Amino acid sequence: MPPTGDAQETRRRLVEAAYREFAAHGIAGARVDRIAAAAGANKALIYFHFGNKDGLFTAVFEMIVSQALAEAPIDAADLPEYAGRLFDASEAHPDALRLATWHRLERAADQPPIQAVLDANQAKVDTIARAQAAGLITTRYTAAEILALVLTIANMWSVLSPEMHVTAPQDRATRRALVVSAVTTLIQP
């Protein structure tokens, strides 16, 4: 049964506090006592609602996935603009990118995949495959390969070394335009 009333509010506060803690310190460096204090809750409630710190991280990551799906819904008929919306979301939520990086660095290798991520990715792959079948986008790559390329291109500015940022375009509009242009070239049938 889902939490109700005060329990639901406590759960929300814990997830929001955990979002900030995990973004700042990673999974290994995050401390449940700091999360509980920031949420104004007892540390035992983390274990009650989420089982453990990994369960709490999963809840945070599921929130990020939900937010990304709402802010940047896929449109396989216009993947370049989808990539632009992903870029916009990344710019608006840099901590979400930090959490995704912590996930790749600390969790992905030794933990089961997060089902919300698997489901979201599969829905996107299916959408791209339908667009390929309709002749809207290239079939040079599989739908999964196109999704991986689009996600990488959309977030490319966030993974550059500080030294590369010196020579990269500095203004947001130029960076976004390059993302959209690169995906436009990528998907041409």
Is 139 a residue whose pLDDT tops 90? yes
Q: Is the pLDDT of residue 156 over 50?
A: yes
Q: What percent of the chain has pLDDT over 70?
A: 96
Which residues lie below 8 Å from residue 175, measured CB to CB, with a gap of 6+?
Answer: 87, 157, 168, 169
Residue scoring higher pLDDT (105 or 133): 133
Per-residue confidence at 152, pLDDT binned at 50, 70, 90?
Answer: very high
pLDDT tens digits, one per residue of 167-186: 888 899 999 999 999 999 99
Range of lowest pLDDT (24-28, 56-60, 101-105): 101-105
CA–CA–CA angle 171, 124, 156 (5° rounding): 25
Model pLDDT, residue 141:
97
153-172: burial string, b at 16+ Cβ within 10 Å, e else: bbbbbeeeeeeeeeeeeeee
Instruction: Spell out the domains of the chain, with CATH numbers in brackets.
Output: 5-187 (1.10.357.10)
| pLDDT in the model for residue 2 | 46
